[in-house]
């Protein structure tokens, strides 16, 4: 029975996570590629020629020259050189990065024709990644996964990540459970995907399972920043803002995502003073606010009617070209001005954003007369 069938019939939100295994070694099985047919004795120049093609292809994929890698792959085949378990992952990576599913399917056909779909774990993993990132049919992901000869950590991570992409949250957690039963040790990437799945369950089950994931990360001493960021986001989405705050305070290597997550959590939970407090802490530590930060802090200024602080943030936005055309920042500015009874200012931001020229009109807002609001009321009375 395939994993797809097993998961459909066994998935239950009440029994998703078994005791998590911790193994000291991770065996990755990648046998030799199938033999297409024995060739007659090849000259050393022919061997070097094939090696040169594949090394060129892999180098281009590693350097993110994806279109060049695809061109090299086509020319390599035209020259009579068959792709192998080194060439296929490189060109599939290129197709995935370019979001070219049609090309990926053509390459998949070659993979099947040459037998690598059932003999090479590495090739299968890159196919899984392709359909997880670019596909529109979760069944295709399961078909590829079921043919992997011996699944490794990358296989399971790609599968769980793909299920999260398709918003199959319970199936993602069931895959995580089966991964544990097969004694494959989760990585930080696994925990990030599983935390995301937990955050999209109902609050009771999400917290119960999410705390198990958090406990596992503590037991294996996973201090990676992106793992902690995902745990913070999970707690925040499930309404446990204090738990998100504790996670934030307990790790030192915070990045921009860390600060944005905690500030946004405070702001969306109506804890506006804390949002502003952490905004100040963030600047004191040398971080430069981005669009997400500004869009999270301005609602605090709006609800607390802190017009002066809102104008300071507006001035900061005006001085930085990075915010040009950012509709989220424009929307937050409109809300802040209108809630602080500066409707004319809010309308001008709206008009500027509507014509797609947010930056050029900001200077006008900085010199709006203080009596504009009274003037507007008189006009409409």
Is there a single domain that holds both residue 295 and residue 193? no
Q: Which two tokens stand for residue 109?
A: 């056909």
Q: How many domains does the chain have?
A: 3
Residue with tokens 């994806």: 66
CA 93 to chain centre: 17
Domain assignment present for 268? yes
Is there a single domain that holds both residue 260 and residue 371? yes
Domain assignment present for 61? yes
Is there a single domain that holds both residue 277 and residue 373? yes
Domain assignment present for 10? no
Q: What is the pLDDT of residues 62-104, one digit of tens each?
A: 999 999 999 999 999 998 899 999 999 999 999 999 999 999 9
Is there a single domain that holds both residue 181 and residue 141? no
Q: What is the pLDDT of residues 36-70, one digit of tens each?
A: 344 344 444 444 478 899 999 999 999 999 999 99
Q: What is the pLDDT of residues 119-130, one digit of tens each?
A: 899 999 999 999
Is there a single domain that holds both residue 88 and residue 119? yes
Whose CA is closest to 88, among 48, 58, 65?
A: 58
Is there a single domain that holds both residue 304 and residue 361? yes
Q: What is the pLDDT of residues 321-341, one digit of tens each?
A: 888 778 888 889 888 888 888
Percentage of the chain beyond pLDDT 70 is 80
Exposed/middle/buried for residue 349 (C-beta within 10 Å: 0-12, 13-18, 19+):
buried
For residue 42, the model assigns a pLDDT of 44
Domain assignment present for 273? yes
Is there a single domain that holds both residue 241 and residue 266? no
Whose CA is closest to 163, among 174, 149, 152, 150?
A: 174
For residue 354, the model assigns a pLDDT of 61
Q: Which two tokens stand for residue 226?
A: 């992106």
CA distance 4 to 34: 26
For residue 242, the model assigns a pLDDT of 97
Is there a single domain that holds both residue 271 and residue 332? yes
User: Helix count (H) and strand count (E) of the chain?
Assistant: 21, 0
Is there a single domain that holds both residue 264 and residue 381? yes
Domain assignment present for 17? no
Whether residue 31 is predicted with pLDDT greater than 70 in this model: the reply is no
Domain assignment present for 8? no
For residue 171, the model assigns a pLDDT of 95
Which pTM was predicted?
0.77
Single residue among 200, 223, 252 that ends a domain in this structure: 252
Q: What is the pLDDT of residues 187-234, one digit of tens each?
A: 999 999 999 999 999 999 999 999 999 999 999 999 899 999 999 999
Query: What domain range is 82 assigned to?
Result: 49-150
* Helices 225-237, 188-199: crossing angle, 10 deg rounding: 10
Domain assignment present for 185? yes
Q: What CATH number is attached to the domain comprising 114?
A: 1.25.40
Q: What is the pLDDT of residues 143-174, one digit of tens each?
A: 999 989 889 999 999 999 999 999 999 999 99
Angle at 78 between CA 75 and CA 80, to 5 degrees: 120
The more confident residue out of 16 and 284 is 284
| C-alpha separations of 245 from 221, 234, 241, 272, 304 in Å | 19, 12, 6, 14, 22
Q: What is the largest CA-CA distance in the chain?
A: 95
Is there a single domain that holds both residue 269 and residue 215? no
Single residue among 252, 276, 294 that ends a domain in this structure: 252
Is there a single domain that holds both residue 97 and residue 177? no
Domain assignment present for 374? yes
Single residue among 237, 252, 267 that ends a domain in this structure: 252
CA distance 305 to 97: 45
Contact 167, 197 (CB under 8 A): no
């Amino acid at each position: 029975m395939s994993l797809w069938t097993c998961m459909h019939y066994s998935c239950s939100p009440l029994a998703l996570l078994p005791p998590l295994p911790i193994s000291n070694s991770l065996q990755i099985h990648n046998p030799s590629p199938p033999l297409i047919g024995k060739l007659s004795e090849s000259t050393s120049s022919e061997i070097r020629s094939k090696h040169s093609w594949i090394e060129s292809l892999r180098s281009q994929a590693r350097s993110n020259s994806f279109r060049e890698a695809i061109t090299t792959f086509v020319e390599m085949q035209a020259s009579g050189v068959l792709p192998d378990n080194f060439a296929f992952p490189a060109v599939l990576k290129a197709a995935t990065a370019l979001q070219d599913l049609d090309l990926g399917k053509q390459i998949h056909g070659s993979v099947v024709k040459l037998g690598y779909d059932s003999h090479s774990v590495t090739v299968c993993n890159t196919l899984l990644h392709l359909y997880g990132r670019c596909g529109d049919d979760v069944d295709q992901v399961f078909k590829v996964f079921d043919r992997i000869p011996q699944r490794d950590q990358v296989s399971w991570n790609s599968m769980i990540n793909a299920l999260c992409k398709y918003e199959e949250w319970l199936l993602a957690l069931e895959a995580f459970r089966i991964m544990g039963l097969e004694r494959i040790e989760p990585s930080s990437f696994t925990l990030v995907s599983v935390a995301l799945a937990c955050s999209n369950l109902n609050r009771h089950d999400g917290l119960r399972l999410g705390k198990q994931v958090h406990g596992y990360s503590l037991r294996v001493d996973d201090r990676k920043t992106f793992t902690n960021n995902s745990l913070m986001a999970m707690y925040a989405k499930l309404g446990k803002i204090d738990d998100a705050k504790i996670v934030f305070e307990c790790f030192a290597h915070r990045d921009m995502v860390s600060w944005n997550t905690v500030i946004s959590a405070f702001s969306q939970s109506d804890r506006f003073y804390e949002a502003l407090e952490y905004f100040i802490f963030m600047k004191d530590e040398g971080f430069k606010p981005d669009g997400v930060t500004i869009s999270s802090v301005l609602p605090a200024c709006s609800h607390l009617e802190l017009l002066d602080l809102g104008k300071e943030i507006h001035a900061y936005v005006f001085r930085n070209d990075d915010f040009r055309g950012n509709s989220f920042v424009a929307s937050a500015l409109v809300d802040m001005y209108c809630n602080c009874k500066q409707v004319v200012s809010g309308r001008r931001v709206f008009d500027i954003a509507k014509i797609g020229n947010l930056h050029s009109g900001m200077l006008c807002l900085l010199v709006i007369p203080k009596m504009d609001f009274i003037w507007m009321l008189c006009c409409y009375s």
